[in-house]
Structure 1
Amino acid sequence: MFRPNGECLTTVPVKESADMVQKVIDFPFQVAEAYSMSINQRELPPEFDGKFSSVVILGMGGSGVAGDFVRVLLRNSRIPVHTCKNSRPPAFVNRDTLVIAITYSGKTQETLEALNASLNSEAKCVVITASRELGSLCEEKKIPWIFTPWNGYSRASFGYILVPVLGILNRIGLFPTLESDISEAIMVLNEIREECGPNVTLHKNPARLLALALADALPVTYGEYNFTDVVALRWKQQLNENAKVHCYYDIFPELLHNEIEAWDAGTGHAEQGEHPVLMFLRDSMHERDNHFEQRIEATKYLAERNGAKVFELWTKGKSELARLLSLTYMADFVSIYLAASRGINPEVTDNIDYIKNQKAVSIESKDV
């Protein structure tokens, strides 16, 4: 899965937050628990019969990227899946649209505003939340809702957020392989935990080695359109929130028409005081199907010629869900190890909390 190019440093300061580390370690269990709960989800009302013209998933942050994962997993579905990371849902939302609103805390301003607008458009809405207060309000408004366990931080609850969405879509016939995909994903995640957990020594731990390479560097993630691009976004988010570092990402093949010029040999990043570390999030099957392989190798050559350190991270597994989650789990470990190397507490998100506290929104629209 992990193929390092170049040398890495040799030590990681042990200052990780024990609580966050444990939540990362428990991710395979979280996925299994979320699937078990999805099997026992309450039945949706009769009008949720699967005869929808489109699906729209509302959510911000970790909830929003869960929607992106679903959009990629169902990119060949007979019904288009869209994501909305804004307070206004798409104009096409109507009574034939299934809207899944994810707000883990139950207080996400943009998601609640978009939910209100969707209800006013007579869409069929389902809410996923860890907030029993919001759940009670949904009961009062006769809005179907699904409870997901509270895990302290939404970014450490990706399984609790993603799997219930897949459970809903499985029930209406849009994701029929859920059981087998989850089974394989759990097996793959357990393997990665054995490779990357905090008890694994440094030189045998690919996540620690990568975190060390990212120390005092500019992290850059490159994903592949309509597949690992959503994981690249997740990497950015985890490095931002846990390690408190800037990170940016781009997407093949679009980056070959613009970003690639930043790797011109005459304008090296070293001269600009930058030390980029590139992480190529690769999937052999997707690359072969989309003829990406040769162009990715050429991009790697140009970046290395320009002085960048390049790491290739490969998916593991057969199902698309397992392959995407394999690289996602790696991001969790790397981000907490990078936080440790910087002496950062990955649990604290003061700036996000400050913004969230500026305004509270409730469900005010009419009943469905």
Structure 2
Amino acid sequence: MDMLELLRKLPEEIEEAIEFDVPYFDEKPPRIFLGGMGGSAISGDVAKLVMSDLDIPFEIIRDYRLPAYAGKKDILIASSYSGNTEESLSLYEDGLSRNMKILVITSGGKLLQLAQKNNNFYVKIPSGFPPRTALGYLFTPIVMTCVKSGFVGHHHIENLKKLPDFMRNLHKEFESVDSLPLEIAKKLYFRFPIIYTSRRMYPVGLRWKAQINENAKAFAHIMDFPEMNHNEIAGIKNPKERVEALWAIFMEDVDDYERIKLRFRHTMDLIKDSVMGITHILSRGNSIAERVFYLIYLGDYVSYYLAKLYNEDPVAIPRIDELKRRLSK
């Protein structure tokens, strides 16, 4: 399985997933919870970010239990690509015990069996891929369900339909010998990436971190603004020899609050003499969906090139597999 081919197929995933037969909810809930881990949880983060007109509290749960205030009028989206993620299964059982309205998104496994047994809504997505390369399959049904249920506007469908061609047009650019993702990967090689975003764009930074971790087997750190300016900015000093190995990445979106943009500029100036270097990235695209996926796709390619520089297999995740094996005993 070739990671580059898996990255290239993300636009096709979104096109396919737009055609999925997704369910709808006939009542607006007080809250929506999405329970999942890794790529499944990121899909909820990204959906929430893209659906900026959603006026229902939408909370991503990366744990075994729902919060005490989750109740039967709320919706639980239980997401697990494999269908066997133990945290997602635990959250599903918790939601079921509270008589919540449940939607399952999975490719199979125990979660699909439980959804079918208990007559829950479910969307069965294609199987056989590493979960982190199935973002299109995991993300799109969330948005489509919210549109179909009347929770957000129909313009999101039009934005999703334009997204695959927008992303395909990035292939040549991102795969050229002097591409931006390759340039960034070279800067991160043998350095410690620290990724900064606004609070609203935090899911994009989290995707970058996770992809660098899993694909390149490399450490990465993320922090959001303005919180960074109230603590971390003071810590980018010691130990000096470690801080000098940091490479800071600032990701900015046009819709970020103006004070956040101002904080970015001043922070870059204040830390530039302490860190190895700084890369400032601006989002691109005509819609929030395009801008978000431009940054996500850029990060996916960065992690791929960084894996190649470290001579790592970007598909294999031996430590995660071994941990799951030990936990299954």
Coarse TM-score class (shorter-chain normalised)? over 0.9
- The structure showing larger relative contact order (alpha-carbon pairs under 8 Å, at least 6 residues apart) is 1
2:182: which partner in 1?
A: 208
1:246: which partner in 2?
A: 219
User: What SS class does the counterpart of residue 251 from structure 1 fall into?
Assistant: strand
Structure 1 residue 237 corresponds to structure 2 residue 214: no
2:56 to 48, 62, 79: 79
Q: Which amino acid aligns with 2:242?
A: Q
Structure 1 residue 23 corresponds to structure 2 residue 6: yes
User: What SS class does the counterpart of residue 247 from structure 2 fall into?
Assistant: strand
* Counterpart Cα distance in 2 of 1:234 and 1:338: 15
2:314 to 333, 340, 346: 346
Asked whether the 8 Å contact 1:97–1:124 carries over to 2, the reply is yes
Asked whether the 8 Å contact 2:244–2:275 carries over to 1, the reply is no
Q: Which amino acid aligns with 2:162?
A: E
Quickly say closer, same or farther: Cα 1:218–1:212, change in 2 above 3 A.
Answer: same
Structure 1 residue 187 corresponds to structure 2 residue 165: yes
Structure 1 residue 321 corresponds to structure 2 residue 289: yes
Q: TM-score, normalised by structure 1?
A: 0.84
Asked whether the 8 Å contact 2:18–2:144 carries over to 1, the reply is yes
- 1:148-227 map, 5 Å: 148-176=125-153, 177-197=155-175, 200-201=176-177, 203=178, 205-226=179-200
Q: Which amino acid aligns with 1:157?
A: A
Query: What RMSD, in angstroms, separates the aligned Cα atoms of the two structures?
Result: 1.9
Q: Which amino acid aligns with 2:307?
A: A
Report which of the two structures shows the higher radius of gyration computed on alpha carbons: 1
Q: Which amino acid aligns with 2:196?
A: Y
User: What SS class does the counterpart of residue 286 from structure 1 fall into?
Assistant: coil
User: What SS class does the counterpart of residue 70 from structure 2 fall into?
Assistant: coil
Q: TM-score, normalised by structure 2?
A: 0.94
1:130: which partner in 2?
A: 107
The structural deviation recorded for 1:95 is: 1.3
Asked whether the 8 Å contact 1:71–1:83 carries over to 2, the reply is no
1:283: which partner in 2?
A: 253
User: What SS class does the counterpart of residue 220 from structure 1 fall into?
Assistant: strand
The structural deviation recorded for 1:76 is: 5.0
1:51 to 14, 28, 44: 28
Asked whether the 8 Å contact 2:243–2:275 carries over to 1, the reply is no
User: What SS class does the counterpart of residue 272 from structure 2 fall into?
Assistant: helix
The structural deviation recorded for 1:132 is: 5.8
The structural deviation recorded for 1:182 is: 0.8
2:236: which partner in 1?
A: 263
Structure 1 residue 103 corresponds to structure 2 residue 80: yes
* Counterpart Cα distance in 1 of 2:250 and 2:315: 27
Asked whether the 8 Å contact 1:268–1:307 carries over to 2, the reply is no
Asked whether the 8 Å contact 2:89–2:111 carries over to 1, the reply is no
2:98 to 118, 121, 131: 121
Q: Which amino acid aligns with 2:67?
A: P
Structure 1 residue 141 corresponds to structure 2 residue 118: yes
The structural deviation recorded for 1:127 is: 0.4
The structural deviation recorded for 1:56 is: 0.4
The structural deviation recorded for 1:191 is: 2.6
Q: Which amino acid aligns with 1:320?
A: I
Structure 1 residue 297 corresponds to structure 2 residue 265: yes
Q: How many residues align?
A: 328
Q: Which amino acid aligns with 1:284?
A: V
Asked whether the 8 Å contact 1:75–1:81 carries over to 2, the reply is no
Q: Which segment drifts farther, 320-329 or 68-77?
A: 68-77
* Counterpart Cα distance in 2 of 1:307 and 1:103: 38
Unaligned ranges ≥5, structure 1: 1-17, 362-368
Asked whether the 8 Å contact 1:100–1:126 carries over to 2, the reply is yes
- The sequence identity of aligned pairs, in percent, is 26
Structure 1 outlier segments of 4+, above 6 Å: none
The structural deviation recorded for 1:358 is: 4.0
* Counterpart Cα distance in 2 of 1:311 and 1:194: 22
* Counterpart Cα distance in 2 of 1:133 and 1:272: 45
